[in-house]
């Protein structure tokens, strides 16, 4: 094995370890933000959750704010890409109602089962300085645009109730879905039951 190959392998291993540590810090920060909120989150809490020394965090992020900003952006982007991926798996001939039902399930699964980042975003979005939330809010806006299109498709198909205002309906639905993070836990029953109930309630509220 040549010297260059050995050096390349060492650099790859170092990079991989660095990437894993960065990911662990983001996961830990999301978990702490979910429990303690922006004002209550300290680097020492994140370090303890990630099983690293607090000063080591500065190797990856210049400040607490930079780490939290990255958590919010990564989490918001993951919510958007997850919803897009779920909708892309639906059959091409899916109805507007079926696509909304799929979006409801995607939202709840990501929020309650897949990622602690979702709850971190929901809990802290209104607490963050603009500089920290800017990139995340752009992703949230893109996420809302997907839902805006889903409701518009329902209206275009003639299935949206005439007494329902589309923008208000979209915000009410997303608000209700987001709020489940505040009260739901597995002791209340399986997640599938929550998803089925939410789909039924959303579609009955929106459709003629």
**What's this model's pTM, rounded to 2 decimal places?**
0.85
- Give dist(CA 132, CA 14) in Å, integer: 29
Are 50 and 27 contacting, i.e. CB atoms less than 8 angstroms apart? yes
Residues 123-135 have pLDDT tens digits of 887 888 888 889 9
Q: Which domains does the chain have, with CATH numbers?
A: 3-206 (1.10.357.10)
Model confidence band, residue 30 (pLDDT cutoffs 50, 70, 90):
very high
5 pLDDT band, cuts 50/70/90, is: very low
Q: Can you give the three-state secondary structure of 87-133, one letter per residue?
A: HHHCCCCCCHHHHHHHHHHHHHHHHHHHCHHHHHHHHHCCCCCHHHH
Q: Over 50: is that where the pLDDT of 6 sits? A: no
């Amino acid at each position: 094995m040549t010297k260059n190959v050995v050096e390349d392998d060492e650099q790859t291993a170092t990079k991989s370890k660095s990437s894993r540590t960065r990911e662990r810090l983001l996961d830990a920060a999301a978990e702490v933000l979910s429990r303690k909120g922006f004002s209550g989150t300290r680097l020492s809490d994140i370090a303890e959750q990630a099983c690293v020394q607090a000063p080591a965090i500065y190797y990856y992020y210049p400040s607490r704010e930079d780490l939290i900003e990255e958590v919010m952006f990564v989490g918001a982007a993951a919510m958007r890409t997850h919803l897009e991926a779920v909708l892309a798996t639906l059959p091409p001939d899916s109805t507007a109602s079926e696509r909304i039902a799929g979006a409801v399930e995607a939202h709840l699964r990501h929020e309650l089962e897949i990622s602690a980042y979702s709850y971190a975003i929901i809990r802290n979005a209104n607490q963050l300085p603009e500089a920290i939330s800017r990139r995340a809010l752009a992703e949230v806006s893109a996420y809302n645009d997907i839902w805006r299109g889903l409701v518009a498709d329902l209206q275009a198909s003639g299935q949206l109730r005439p007494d329902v205002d589309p923008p208000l309906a979209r915000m009410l639905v997303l608000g209700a879905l987001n709020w489940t993070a505040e009260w739901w836990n597995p002791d209340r029953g399986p997640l599938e039951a929550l998803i089925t109930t939410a789909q039924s309630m959303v579609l009955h509220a929106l459709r003629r």
